Amino acid sequence: MSDTLPAPIERALDAEAPLAPVDAGAPMYRIDENSKVPVSREHGKLWKGRIAAARSARKVHEEAWDEAIRYYNNNQLEHREGRDSMSGNRYYSKRRNNKWSETENIVYANVRAMMPALYAKNPQVEFTTPNEDLKPFVQQIEDVVNALASRKHAPGLNLKTHAKQAVLSTELCNIGWMEWGYTPRPQSILAAQDEIVKLSNELENAKDTKTIREVEGKLLALEEELDVLTPPGPFVKYRTPQDVLCDADASMPDYSDAKWLAIREIYPTAYLNARYGKKDENGQVMSIYEPTHVLMGEASDTDDIKNFKLFETDASAHQYGYENKAQLEKAQRTMCWRVWDKVTRRVYLFTDNKWDWPVWVENDPYLLPGFFPLHPIVFNTTVIGALAPSNVTYYLDQQDAINEIHDEFRRARQDIKENILYNSKFNRDGVIAWVTGGGPNAVGVDVPDGMNMRDMIVEKPNSMLKAMQLFDLQRPFQSIDRVSGVSDVMRNVQFKTNTTNKAIENYNSGTALRLDEKIDAIEDALGTVLFNVGYLCAQFMEAETVSALIGAKRAADWQPRTPAELRDMFQCQAVGGSTQKPTSAGKKQQALEMSEILGKLAQFAPSVVIETILTVLEDAFDELNLPSDAFERMREEVVVAMQRGNSTQGAGSSSPDGASAGGPTAATPGAAPMQLEELAAMIDALPAQAKVALGQILAQGVPVAEALPEVLSMVQQGNTTAETGMMQ
């Protein structure tokens, strides 16, 4: 076989391969100046494509979200017109057209009925660990997290406000996001305020123009950052479904299998330039970040997200509702995407209008076990994909049907009131005066021979009145109830007189099952949120802050831990409680139930049980008009009674096996110890009068061990006397 290659192949190997054109002035990699992380120039284009693909994949869901929110927000102002000292429907609603005016918002009513049942207060969280040595530290984390969740001001989380928004979003869109994080003090608003004070002092002592210019530049940059910076410590935020983009390949409802998540942020353009903009040779910040939106002023309509309008470079300040360019620049915003890449465990910030280089990049800042600082609340699941429609989107047609029926009733009333046919022999002005009324009104008419008034004036026929069964509201309401899980009980509708107790029980049980499923999803999600908050606090929170939250005694020996130490250290779960509001009535009911249960244990540890019962009742019934020292005097009486009982027991004789005659298990002097069942049987066998006597003795504070033998002795004496009398 010849070793020589065919001529065409040999010529191809000898030819020089074409080289891709290289732009010598555009580096392929760049080191981020703030974090020292190298970034490829092509990386931004990659993320731009991923963001675009994710937005395209969920477009149909975004349309469903927008529609559900639009129905929820639909009030009756659209067809009304306010006037001075009066209000009323607009002109078009009084005419027969395709616009409805008498509407009922069932979406709003159902969602508002659900909200108090789903979320009324923050659940408590429990942190557990299998390591006995770590239990004190884990208990400190639990105390800190529960304290943070209930606080509204910094360093509190204001959890209830954010969680209720997320639950409302989940009811409407079937997804509501909760974000968490931690702001170190050097990056917080407090550090910026301290730096401003420092720079102000430097400005006062500046000796030359160059120093003044440098200090003023730093001050301007810090002032631009103040609007964005937050207080130090942990935080929790609600994120709308539209603000969070997820890996299009993820299929799990909680996105635990996602490779990346992206959060939409709207930053002031001046802030981006002040913090990330490059400086020229004179130290002036070059405007490298351009606005994408403008926060609207006094003027016109908005056509994009929230109250922003898309920015147009050639538009004047007056078009956005501002008087001059300076005001407009303050209102300019740049839409960015903060991307959390789980594969590289890096975080990128890209502007939506320029993807060449990231604004900012850093390695994993929190080192959380799950990496992502977000978690969704989801009620419904689907077979394919992560996103599923909400309950609301399944009964929008029935909502329209209800409004159509209501509007037809309105039109029927209007027809009967305003539209008639009359014999032309009548005077038209007289007929109109008779129809419109408006006060004492007498109209004389000439009725032709052989006719009566009914023949002369006829109401307009209305087909709706002939087919009332087609306008029955029960059918669409029943369809809505089956989908939404909101029954007449939750809407405060009175049951029909023939409704049986069994039917009411079925109503309640069906509603409870649907609610329990949703409450479980809420508490699982909040448990995940607070677990991660605890993980961040264990890493970053200073001992002074912990002491301020839970007290110096419980915060003793607090020491932040590293992520390596925290990994697999503890677990967290949310304990039920998000449905029951801690009202005064609820506290009283719980106090009475607990007192009843504890009372059954009083014979084993009377002093401890009575002390606990008094404490519970004192806390629950604090508004009773009792003497200020009433509960304290009760406690003193209990102590005296217990001491008297103990001294009496000590004076008792001993049984043959060494037990005291007045011991807690003795029924008669010298008897062997008895079991509790035997003691109970002996008391049950007593006559009614003996039981009354036993109760009176026990009420005086006499121990059972003394009272029972005395009552038994009385019963025996009574029986002996009765027998003697019979013999005589």
pLDDT number for residue 529: 93
pLDDT for residue 66 is more than 90: yes
Is 13 a member of any domain?
A: no
711 and 595 fall within a common domain: yes
Is 327 a member of any domain?
A: no
Amino acid code (one letter) for 214: E
496 and 399 fall within a common domain: yes
- Determine which helix (DSSP H) or strand (DSSP E) holds 399, and give its type and residue range: helix 396-418
The vertex-428 CA angle with 424 and 434, nearest 5°, equals 120
Prediction pTM value: 0.69
506 and 602 fall within a common domain: no
pLDDT number for residue 467: 75
pLDDT number for residue 43: 85
CB neighbour burial string for 402-417, b if at least 16 within 10 angstroms, e if fewer: bbebbbbebbbeebee
3-state secondary structure of 358: coil
pLDDT for residue 116 is more than 70: yes
482 and 608 fall within a common domain: no
pLDDT number for residue 311: 54
pLDDT for residue 503 is more than 50: yes
Domain count, the chain: 3
Tell me which of 162-176, 346-360, 398-412, 614-628 is least confident: 614-628
Q: How confident is the model at residue 316 (pLDDT cuts 50, 70, 90)?
A: low
CA atoms within 13 A on the CB side of 135: 4
712 and 593 fall within a common domain: yes
The rounded distance, in Å, linking the Cα atoms of 599 and 156 is 39
Cα–Cα nearest to 511, from 50, 80, 113: 113
Is 200 a member of any domain?
A: yes
pLDDT for residue 161 is more than 70: yes
The rounded distance, in Å, linking the Cα atoms of 455 and 449 is 12
pLDDT number for residue 342: 94
Considering the chain, what percentage of its residues have pLDDT values greater than 90? Answer: 23
Higher pLDDT, 161 or 409: 161
The rounded distance, in Å, linking the Cα atoms of 635 and 689 is 30
Amino acid code (one letter) for 449: D
Interval 239-260 mean pLDDT: 93
Asked if residue 164 lies in contact with residue 115, where contact means CB atoms within 8 angstroms, the answer is yes
Is 287 a member of any domain?
A: no
Asked if residue 265 lies in contact with residue 341, where contact means CB atoms within 8 angstroms, the answer is no
Q: Alpha helices of 124-158 — where are they, by DSSP H? A: 135-150
Amino acid code (one letter) for 477: F
Answer with the one of 229, 255, 278 that is the final residue of a domain: 229
507 and 592 fall within a common domain: no
Residue partners of 98: CB distance under 8 A and separation at least 6: none
Answer with the one of 511, 526, 544 that is the final residue of a domain: 511
The rounded distance, in Å, linking the Cα atoms of 219 and 198 is 10
3-state secondary structure of 77: coil
Higher pLDDT, 670 or 4: 4
* Residue 61 in tokens: 């869901």
- Determine which helix (DSSP H) or strand (DSSP E) holds 455, and give its type and residue range: helix 453-456
pLDDT number for residue 658: 42
pLDDT for residue 428 is more than 60: yes
Q: How far apart are the first and last CA of the chain?
A: 143
* Residue 339 in tokens: 């991307």
* Max mean pLDDT range (168-177, 565-574, 595-604, 611-620): 168-177
Tell me which of 109-113, 263-267, 723-727 is least confident: 723-727
Is 409 a member of any domain?
A: yes
pLDDT for residue 572 is more than 50: yes
pLDDT number for residue 481: 81
The rounded distance, in Å, linking the Cα atoms of 46 and 590 is 58
Answer with the one of 181, 197, 229 that is the final residue of a domain: 229
Tell me which of 1-15, 45-59, 455-469, 625-639 is least confident: 1-15
pLDDT number for residue 525: 92
Is 550 a member of any domain?
A: no
Q: Is 490 exposed, middle or buried (0-12, 13-18, 19+ CB in 10 A)?
A: buried
503 and 624 fall within a common domain: no
Provide the 10 A C-beta neighbour count for residue 444: 6
Amino acid code (one letter) for 558: W
Q: What is the mean pLDDT of the chain?
A: 75
pLDDT for residue 429 is more than 80: no
Range of the domain at 674: 584-727
DSSP class of 125: E
Asked if residue 367 lies in contact with residue 539, where contact means CB atoms within 8 angstroms, the answer is yes
Q: How confident is the model at residue 273 (pLDDT cuts 50, 70, 90)?
A: confident
Is 479 a member of any domain?
A: yes
485 and 611 fall within a common domain: no
pLDDT number for residue 154: 84
Q: How confident is the model at residue 408 (pLDDT cuts 50, 70, 90)?
A: confident
Asked if residue 514 lies in contact with residue 508, where contact means CB atoms within 8 angstroms, the answer is no
Is 57 a member of any domain?
A: no
The rounded distance, in Å, linking the Cα atoms of 67 and 73 is 10
Q: How confident is the model at residue 7 (pLDDT cuts 50, 70, 90)?
A: low
Considering the chain, what percentage of its residues have pLDDT values greater than 70? Answer: 63
